[in-house]
A = this chain, B = another copy of it.
Amino acid sequence: MAENGRKILAAVDEGDESMYALTWCLKNVISENSKDTLIICYVKRPRAVYTTMDGHGAGYMFSPDLMATMERYSNDVAQCVIDKAKRACKDLNDVKLETVVELGDPRDMICEVAEKLNVDLLVMGSHGYGLIKRAFLGSVSNHCAQNAKCPVLIVKKPKSNGGNGTH
């Protein structure tokens, strides 16, 4: 490990696989006492459901209260994922840990963050969306592997652990 002070961006989401990818990266890429900076990134998806409904002027499908509740829920999920990721990193000594939460399409936002922060490596799980959504939108990791300008490490959760993954 010749490099010092690399910036590594780990994109995480609600799925087990992204946490597996983060752990794999911690074990295999980041030295415990390196001067690396690890940036944990979570992208909240906009609630397309109620934003498009709003736009048609037909009144609220969801009350402002409910929207506020959903917004709060979305923030809670983001915080929960970030906290879980941070706990996974607790053994890193000198590694600088940063977190980024963005709002938007994860495929674009992850590439944008990687570019904006000029990271040396992007690490992510191979899936991300659920099976159905992925069939329509394409895989997040696929998109990032093609569009990010930095090296991309795509980690799959092995299927051999009794099938309790998020595939």
Contacts and interface: CB of A to CB of B under 8 A. Distances in A.
Contacts of A139: 146
Contacts of A31: 1
Given A1-B1, A28-B121, A29-B28, A151 B155 contact: yes
Nearest to A148: B156
How many copies of this chain does the complex contain? 2
Given A126-B145, A142-B145, A151 B6 contact: no
Contact of A153 (B3, B148, B151, B156): B151
Contact of A6 (B6, B28, B146, B148): B28
Interface residues of A, number: 30
Contact of A151 (B3, B24, B151): B24
A149 B154 contact: no
A146 B143 CA distance: 11
A151 B154 contact: yes
A150 interface: yes
B149 A152 contact: no
A133 interface: no
Given A1-B28, A120-B28, A121-B28, A146 B155 contact: no
Contacts of A152: 153-154
A27 interface: yes
A145 B141 contact: yes
Given A1-B31, A154-B154, 17 more contacts: A1-B1, A1-B28, A2-B27, A2-B28, A2-B32, A28-B29, A28-B121, A28-B151, A139-B146, A141-B145, A142-B142, A142-B146, A145-B145, A149-B158, A151-B154, A151-B156, A153-B154
